[in-house]
Amino acid sequence: MLSLNLNKGASHMTQEGFKRKLTAILSADAVGYSRLMGEDEAATVQTITSYRNVISTLIKQHDGTVIDSPGDNLLAEFASVVDAVQCAVAVQKEIKARNDNQPENRKMHFRIGINLGDVIQEENRIYGDGVNIAARIESLADGGGICITRTVYDQVKNKLKLGYEYRGAHSLKNIEEPVRLYRVLMEPGAAGKLIGEEKLRPIQKKAHTLKICIAVLPFENLFDHRGEDYFSRGFVEDLITDLAHFQSLQVISSYSSRKIGAGIYSIKRI
């Protein structure tokens, strides 16, 4: 596993005149390399050498630069995130084609991680969290697969005929904040697919309408016959029922209206 750490402080390196830049970093690693070496060292060295040459050639063809290639690891950078992802796809397809001619126990698969990050460049080497994240997420990729960060996904999702599977946010060693990861779907027919991530729905604002609150107070019977009181009460009920049909009005019930009327009547008497 490729382990890259920034030993010197970034501020110190900047003071020494080192260059800072934003770049796409590709980290590749052979799966089960130790097992393959234990079974047949000569054959494994021959295979890793051949595959590393293939990967290096594809990186150059996609305008990338090989930064380091210790053991079964390979680190490269690209000025374009799109080029980096296209290169990774080309690498996995070529390795798969070559593995098809190998016995099952001698197949050598690679995991690839790609990150877009700010790095510090010293001559032909690069340092920083941008590099470390690429190396960390590469270890989370499947054999023969490609794992990318959210920053990479945002740049390529509408530019390449690929699909993506959201793998969630991961806490990475020596990285302060969790990193959201995606698996690249290279299968035919996967273009445009997004699996595993719920798309955010636009927030719908509720329209608040102003309602007028109205109460129909009890009518007073001005006739001499108190037996006619039911006419005034009936008129009130009919009026409340008719007003309730208007959606812009909030009509107080007849029971509450009678209590309000009684209160007003008491005040008048005082």
In a domain, 205, yes or no: no
Asked which of 170, 195, 220 is the last residue of a domain, the reply is 195
Q: What is the pLDDT of residue 97?
A: 93
Q: Is 225 exposed, middle or buried (0-12, 13-18, 19+ CB in 10 A)?
A: exposed
Q: How many domains does the chain have?
A: 2
Q: What is the pLDDT of residue 121?
A: 83
In a domain, 207, yes or no: no
Q: Based on the fold, state whether residues 191 and 222 are members of the same structural domain.
A: no
Q: What is the pLDDT of residue 252?
A: 67
Q: What is the pLDDT of residue 206?
A: 47
Q: What is the pLDDT of residue 1?
A: 42
Q: Sign of the CA dihedral 60, 114, 195, 144?
A: positive
Q: What is the pLDDT of residue 234?
A: 62
Q: Based on the fold, state whether residues 176 and 260 are members of the same structural domain.
A: no
Task: Give residue 258's domain range.
Answer: 212-269
Are 77 and 110 contacting, i.e. CB atoms less than 8 angstroms apart?
Answer: no
What are the two backbone dihedrals, phi and then psi, of residue 180, each rounded to the nearest 5 degrees?
-85, 130
Which residues have CB under 8 Å from 96's CB, separation 6+?
Answer: 144
Averages of pLDDT over runs of 10 residues in the chain (270 residues) are 44 60 93 89 90 94 90 90 97 94 88 92 83 91 94 93 92 86 91 75 50 72 62 65 66 62 50
Q: What is the pLDDT of residue 241?
A: 67
In a domain, 78, yes or no: yes
Q: What is the pLDDT of residue 267?
A: 42
Q: What is the pLDDT of residue 247?
A: 61
